[in-house]
């Protein structure tokens, strides 16, 4: 046989063996996993270059990874971050199954490197890099690893959701902008995302799955179980990824420790609490800024969640902690509900507190704030006074508090938050009444320490807000005037400010408020 023919034959033989090896590779991998023959799992979904690198380098991968790790640490200490993305990419490529590596690199980018930059846009880029490293690559190679779900959830919950970073509002705004095309302001149409009909809807749903790795079917389940959530905010995504981690854990119960499940559950509970406190996004229609309001529709579900946590917790000491956390949550919930003019619901939960914890102070440090001793109104007023910083009524602070609440009320009215407008107005009135009652018995009475009539305070605030030069923007002034039935603004500046002693007959329309601006 000639050399040429021999070579061709050998090449054919090599190709045949390669094909044969490929055929048995799957079953070999399965056996390796089932028989626990190796701690290294086969690499799935990896691009050819990465698959080749991990196999070809063998045990030397660790050495190279160490070298890269040392370089990354050195560069970070020298404040040279431009190589970090590349080095992290290489390090994780070399150790694709080492979950701690993914977790550390993502955490380092999102938490440590991000704050090294003073510009919020730069910080956001690094938070995104951390998130993407886990979501796009880490979970791709380790789809069942709960640590990665936990870390991803933590980025949404803590880094973006909480206010530990000065740039947290920026992060929330950027994320809301990204999520706006999928999750609109009027609740999420999951059915459209699951079964898109138009080409545009299909593209949108595809983008959500491909880029953000969010499965609308599972998101709907999460929303039904823990929501309704505002998916434009980070808390919903923190819950999504933690819930997905729990779901994956169910598929591989043998590989998951109980402590990892506990952390994932806590991520959900803590994110729900955050969502209750700031889980409703309101876009200011005038300057397009975002405001975060409490999501009061979550009160009942969050209450139930605490009950579930209590039932799931085996440690008695921890159980007490959960009960305390639940009570603290209800105290805040009562105030938020009252503030939002949902007085009936506030009263319902206040009654629950009075029934379950009659002798526990509602306000820390105020032993007279037990639910058995004070009414709902008194509690809310006491809480505002606590915020104002005075337990005994003070004229200037009370005036300031009332003015502040009224200013807030008119702002809410302008942006269409009618319930909150009514709630703040109601609260301002209650604080005013409480002060007047408390000081009526003072020597010299109302003449010495009393406040001007509520209507006058209200008018002062309103005049200031409607002042074309120093007040709200024109569009907001126009809305307030329309909503309050005031005459439209003219271009002629008023000759003189309206006297606080001459209340004008302004009548409120379209709100639940019991008081009017002129009263």
Partner 1 sequence: MQRLLAIAWLTWKAAFRFRLFLVVAVLLLAAVVGLPLLLKDDGTARGFTQILITYTLSVITALLGLSTLWLSCGTLARDIEECQIQVVATKPIARWQIWFGKWIGIMSLNAALLALSGGCVLGLLYWRAAGLPAAEQKILREQVLVARGSAKPQNFDTEIDAQTEQILQERLKTTPVGKADVAEVRRQIREQIKAQYQLVPPAYSREWRIDLGFAKNFLHDRPLQLRVKFNTAQYSSPSSTFIGLWRVGVPGTTKLWSSAPMSLSPDTFHEFEIPPDLFDSKGILTIDFLNANNTSLLFPLEDGMEVLYPKGGFALNFARGLGIIFCWMAFLAALGLAAASFLSFPVAAFFSLAMLVVVFSSGTLADVVESGTVVGGNGETGVMGHSVADMVLIPLFKGFLVVINLVKSFSPIDSLSGGRSISWTELGMAFVQIVLLLGGIIGLIGIGLFSRRELATAQGNQ
CA-to-CA distance for 193 and 209, rounded, in angstroms? Answer: 10
Copy the structure tokens of residue 148.
Answer: 């990665």
Binds partner 1 by CB under 8 A, chosen from 69, 102, 126, 154? 126
Give the side-chain half-sphere CA count within 13 A for 265: 15
Binds partner 1 by CB under 8 A, chosen from 31, 166, 210, 433? 166
Shortest distance, CB of residue 137 to partner 1, whole angstroms? 11
Residue 85 or 438: the one with the smaller Cβ distance to partner 1 is 85
Is 102 near partner 1 (CB under 8 A)? Answer: no
Shortest distance, CB of residue 79 to partner 1, whole angstroms? 5
Stretch that binds partner 1, among 114-122, 319-327, 402-410, 468-476 (CB under 8 A): 114-122
* Residue partners of 79: CB distance under 8 A and separation at least 6: 116
Binds partner 1 by CB under 8 A, chosen from 4, 39, 118, 469? 118
Number of residues that bind partner 1 (CB under 8 A): 23
Q: DSSP character for 452?
A: P
Stretch that binds partner 1, among 77-85, 138-146, 240-248, 456-464 (CB under 8 A): 77-85
Q: DSSP character for 372?
A: T
Is 81 near partner 1 (CB under 8 A)? Answer: yes
Stretch that binds partner 1, among 76-84, 279-287, 303-311, 395-403 (CB under 8 A): 76-84
Shortest distance, CB of residue 45 to partner 1, whole angstroms? 18
Pick from 109, 116, 166: nearest CA to 138: 109
Shortest distance, CB of residue 340 to partner 1, whole angstroms? 32
CA-to-CA distance for 423 and 338, rounded, in angstroms? Answer: 6
Is 448 near partner 1 (CB under 8 A)? Answer: no
Binds partner 1 by CB under 8 A, chosen from 41, 89, 215, 386? 89
Phi/psi at 281 (nearest 5 deg)?
Answer: -95, 125
Stretch that binds partner 1, among 52-60, 138-146, 163-171, 231-239 (CB under 8 A): 163-171
Residue 89 or 247: the one with the smaller Cβ distance to partner 1 is 89
CA-to-CA distance for 384 and 391, rounded, in angstroms? Answer: 10
For the CA atoms of the chain, what is the radius of gyration? 30
Shortest distance, CB of residue 155 to partner 1, whole angstroms? 12
Q: Tell me the three state secondary structure of residue 280.
A: strand
Is 83 near partner 1 (CB under 8 A)? Answer: yes
Give the side-chain half-sphere CA count within 13 A for 126: 24
- Residue pair 139/241 in contact (Cβ under 8 Å)? The answer is no
Binds partner 1 by CB under 8 A, chosen from 29, 43, 57, 122? 122
Is 288 near partner 1 (CB under 8 A)? Answer: no
Is 79 near partner 1 (CB under 8 A)? Answer: yes
The helix, strand and coil proportions of the chain, stated in percent and rounded to the nearest 5, come to: 65, 0, 30
> Any long-range contacts for 379-384 (C-beta under 8 Å, 24+ apart)?
379/334, 379/335, 379/350, 380/334, 380/335, 380/338, 380/339, 380/346, 380/427, 380/430, 381/430, 381/431, 381/434, 383/335, 384/427, 384/431
Shortest distance, CB of residue 93 to partner 1, whole angstroms? 10
Neighbours of 66 (CB within 10 A): 12
Q: Which of residues 475-514 bind partner 1 (CB under 8 A)?
A: none
Is 61 near partner 1 (CB under 8 A)? Answer: no
Is 111 near partner 1 (CB under 8 A)? Answer: yes
CA-to-CA distance for 92 and 76, rounded, in angstroms? Answer: 17
Stretch that binds partner 1, among 106-114, 321-329, 391-399, 409-417 (CB under 8 A): 106-114
Which residues make beta-bridge pairs with 280? Answer: 293
Is 156 near partner 1 (CB under 8 A)? Answer: no
Binds partner 1 by CB under 8 A, chosen from 125, 202, 266, 360? 125
Residue 90 or 454: the one with the smaller Cβ distance to partner 1 is 90
CA-to-CA distance for 287 and 182, rounded, in angstroms? Answer: 22
- Residue pair 182/199 in contact (Cβ under 8 Å)? The answer is no
CA-to-CA distance for 327 and 361, rounded, in angstroms? Answer: 11
Binds partner 1 by CB under 8 A, chosen from 7, 26, 30, 116? 116
Residues in the chain: 519
Shortest distance, CB of residue 515 to partner 1, whole angstroms? 39
Is 112 near partner 1 (CB under 8 A)? Answer: yes
Shortest distance, CB of residue 95 to partner 1, whole angstroms? 17
CA-to-CA distance for 357 and 370, rounded, in angstroms? Answer: 8
Is 86 near partner 1 (CB under 8 A)? Answer: yes
Shortest distance, CB of residue 135 to partner 1, whole angstroms? 16
Stretch that binds partner 1, among 75-83, 200-208, 398-406, 428-436 (CB under 8 A): 75-83
Query: Angle at Cα 269 formed by Cα 102 and Cα 176, nearest 5°?
Result: 65
Which residues would be at the binding site for partner 1 (CB under 8 A)?
Answer: 79, 81-86, 89, 111-112, 114-118, 122, 125-126, 129, 164-167
């Amino acid at each position: 046989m000639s050399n040429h023919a021999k070579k061709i034959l050998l090449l054919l033989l090599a190709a045949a063996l390669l094909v044969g090896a490929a055929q048995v590779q799957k079953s070999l991998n399965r056996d390796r996993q089932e028989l626990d023959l190796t701690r290294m799992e086969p690499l799935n979904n990896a691009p050819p270059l990465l698959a080749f690198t991990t196999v070809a380098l063998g045990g030397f991968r660790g050495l190279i990874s160490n070298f890269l790790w040392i370089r990354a640490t050195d560069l970070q200490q020298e404040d040279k971050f431009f190589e970090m993305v590349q080095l992290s990419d290489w390090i994780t490529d070399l150790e694709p199954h080492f979950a701690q590596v993914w977790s550390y690199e993502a955490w380092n980018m999102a938490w440590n490197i991000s704050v090294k930059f003073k510009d919020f846009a730069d910080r956001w880029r690094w938070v995104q890099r951390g998130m993407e490293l886990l979501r796009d690559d880490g979970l791709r190679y380790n789809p069942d690893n709960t640590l990665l779900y936990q870390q991803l959830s933590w980025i949404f919950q803590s880094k973006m959701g909480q206010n530990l970073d000065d740039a947290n509002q920026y992060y929330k705004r950027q994320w809301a902008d990204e999520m706006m095309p999928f999750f609109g302001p009027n609740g999420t149409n999951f059915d459209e995302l699951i079964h898109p009909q138009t080409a545009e809807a299909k593209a949108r749903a595809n983008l959500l799955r491909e880029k953000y790795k969010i499965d609308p079917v599972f998101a709907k389940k999460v929303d039904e179980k823990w929501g309704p959530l505002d998916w434009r905010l980070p808390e919903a995504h923190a819950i999504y990824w933690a819930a997905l981690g729990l779901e994956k854990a169910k598929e591989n119960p043998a590989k998951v420790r109980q402590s990892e499940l506990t952390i994932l559950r806590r991520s959900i509970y803590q994110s729900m609490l955050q969502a209750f406190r700031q889980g409703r996004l309101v876009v200011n229609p005038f300057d397009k800024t975002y405001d975060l309001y409490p999501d009061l529709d979550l009160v009942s579900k969050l209450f139930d969640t605490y009950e579930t946590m209590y039932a799931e917790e085996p440690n008695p000491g921890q159980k007490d902690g959960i009960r305390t956390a639940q009570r603290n949550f209800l105290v805040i919930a009562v105030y938020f509900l009252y503030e939002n003019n949902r007085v009936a619901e506030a009263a319902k939960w206040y009654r629950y507190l009075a029934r379950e914890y009659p002798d526990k102070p509602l306000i820390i440090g105020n032993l007279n704030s037990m639910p058995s001793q004070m009414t709902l109104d008194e509690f809310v007023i006491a809480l505002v006074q606590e915020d104002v910083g005075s337990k005994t009524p003070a004229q200037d602070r009370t005036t300031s508090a009332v003015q502040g609440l009224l200013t807030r009320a008119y702002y809410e009215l302008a942006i269409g938050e009618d319930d909150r407008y009514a709630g703040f107005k109601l609260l301002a009135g209650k604080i005013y009444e409480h002060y007047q009652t408390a000081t009526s018995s003072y020597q010299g009475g109302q003449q010495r320490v009393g406040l001007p009539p509520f209507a006058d305070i209200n008018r002062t605030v309103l005049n200031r807000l409607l002042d074309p030069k120093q007040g709200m923007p024109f569009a907001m002034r126009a809305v307030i005037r329309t909503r309050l039935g005031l005459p439209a603004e003219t271009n002629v500046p008023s000759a003189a400010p309206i006297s606080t002693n001459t209340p004008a007959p302004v009548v409120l329309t379209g709100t639940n408020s019991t008081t009017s601006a002129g009263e």
